[in-house]
Structure 1
Amino acid sequence: MGWVLLVAGLVLWCGAHLFKRIAPELRTRAGDPGKGAITVLILLSVVLMWIGYRRAGIVDLWFPPPWTVHINNLLMLVAVFLIDLGFSRGVLRTKLRHPMLTAIKIWAVAHLLVNGDLASVILFGGMLAWAVVTVILINKQDRAWTPPERGPVRNDIIYGSVALVIFAVIIYIHNWLGVWPLPG
């Protein structure tokens, strides 16, 4: 049952997120109630993926070497920094068109480096594929990109400090869930 929930959650996540790109007219006609429905579907997809991932049986495909944990943590720090960079008003936001989707891609690759089981390949590989497809669709539909106004470097430093705190919270949550993400 875990596998079904995992795949169903992933399909629901992709469908809910890609709906705006695949059927923009229908999405526009749905208005605010449509946004609410999409939000509920996305939340449901996260719950399904989480439950499905936890319940899926362990099917090892490969055994990542221990040193990949270091690369994972470095990539995760970058992903945490990028995830909300779009809301930052500093210099770095003007350099990257899709910071959140780039963060998802980095997050997925980082987790694929340290998890060699089938459930991880399905979850993180599926999220990576979704993020790549989404970037392609956005760039195809909205070819021109105007970077936002440049803000002070100080905002990037503040934002980086906040990202470090969020990274520490993520480590704590992983530990609470029974997965210690740091080497040692």
Structure 2
Amino acid sequence: MIVLIIGVLLWSAAHLFKRIAPAKRADMGDAAKGMVALGVVAGVVLMVIGYRMADGAVLWGRHPATVGINNILNLLAVYLFAASGMKTWITSKIRHPQLTGIKTWALAHILVNGDIPSFVLFGGLLAWAVVEVILINKQAKPEKSTGPFPVGKEIGAIVGAIVVFGLIAWAHYWFGYPAFG
């Protein structure tokens, strides 16, 4: 479990570096980008390894209803990422669409995986996203998208989200974590 915890902490620290120590990050210039990227990649590797080897109590198991809700929430999370990059209508309503997507994704995974390693992984990433939103809001008001919002962009975000969600579901099967079963 310690490898998983270190991975979540490393991911969080790398992402929060800009918010917690903005002067230090600015002083480092482009070198900070490499350090953050290395921290993020190392965090992901440790999270994957740590999650696969972690063992802990199971408070509830998978159920067809939670699997269905999980999939709907994850499709929404992927859509929020796509919409954010395309500046669609939803980005004029949600202040932090990508971080909202992370929070949605994390909650969905906690719902469907009722075990302690999942609480550590997805709960840790949920906590990071909440802290990130709080720090961003304290430092600056995020800009919301303003119209017009072409229908083509909206359709593109929806279709893109469905395609990416399908690829993610396939990858889950490939790694031994069925997304629909």
Tell me which interval the TM-score lies in, with the shorter structure as reference length. over 0.9
Matched, 1:105 2:92: no
Alpha-carbon distance in structure 2 between the residues aligned to 1:30 and 1:104: 28
Alpha-carbon distance in structure 1 between the residues aligned to 2:90 and 2:122: 26
| Matched residue, 2:80 | 82
Report SS of the residue matched to 1:84: helix
- One-letter amino acid of the structure 2 residue matched with residue 127 of structure 1: L
Report SS of the residue matched to 1:61: strand
| Matched residue, 1:148 | 145
Report SS of the residue matched to 1:147: coil
After superposition, give the CA deviation of every residue in 1:95-127 in whole Å (9 maximum; x if it has no partner).
Answer: 222111000000000000110111000000001
- One-letter amino acid of the structure 1 residue matched with residue 139 of structure 2: Q
- One-letter amino acid of the structure 1 residue matched with residue 2 of structure 2: V
The Cα of 1:58 is off from its aligned counterpart by: 4.1
- What is the percentage of aligned positions where both structures have the same residue? 47
Alpha-carbon distance in structure 2 between the residues aligned to 1:141 and 1:91: 25
Alpha-carbon distance in structure 1 between the residues aligned to 2:143 and 2:51: 39
After superposition, give the CA deviation of every residue in 1:53-91 in whole Å (9 maximum; x if it has no partner).
Answer: 001124213335431111101001000111232210433
Structure 1 segment 113-132 matched on structure 2, within 5 A: 113-132=111-130
The Cα of 1:141 is off from its aligned counterpart by: 1.2
Contact 1:98 1:135 in 2 (8 A): yes
Contact 1:91 1:153 in 2 (8 A): no
Alpha-carbon distance in structure 2 between the residues aligned to 1:128 and 1:168: 23
Segments of structure 1 that go 5 or more residues without pairing to the other structure are none
Report SS of the residue matched to 2:58: coil
| Matched residue, 1:133 | 131
Alpha-carbon distance in structure 1 between the residues aligned to 2:77 and 2:112: 15
Q: Among 14, 17, 21, which residue is 2:15 paired with? A: 17
| Matched residue, 1:28 | 26
Alpha-carbon distance in structure 1 between the residues aligned to 2:136 and 2:78: 22
Q: Normalising by structure 1, report the TM-score.
A: 0.92
Matched, 1:94 2:92: yes
Alpha-carbon distance in structure 2 between the residues aligned to 1:129 and 1:9: 14
Q: Normalising by structure 2, report the TM-score.
A: 0.94
| Matched residue, 2:55 | 57
Question: How many residue pairs align between the two structures?
Answer: 180
Segments of structure 2 that go 5 or more residues without pairing to the other structure are none
